[in-house]
Structure 1
């Protein structure tokens, strides 16, 4: 598994979300679910940026 790191700016605060996924498509689908939850609770514009990938057990 890999961790895909996304930065989310809600206009009020900036946060970093790490999503465990097997690939980029899986990570994006999970991020879309997270975005939908944030839009329901927060009416402001969301800015999302892909930061990178953290590989586990990579020495």
Structure 2
């Protein structure tokens, strides 16, 4: 979960606005996500929200 955005579409636009990465690379990755079944976040509650990761985050301590 992003601290400011919960929609990949918004994140894509923000990364392009900030010129953080090559726009073609962003588009390629975004189209891959869409072809893999990603749908736009619906905050109306009509569609179930899927977690970003189905497994709990494991943290390992360094000794």
Output the TM-score relative to the length of structure 2: 0.29
Larger radius of gyration: 2
Q: Which has the higher strand share?
A: 1
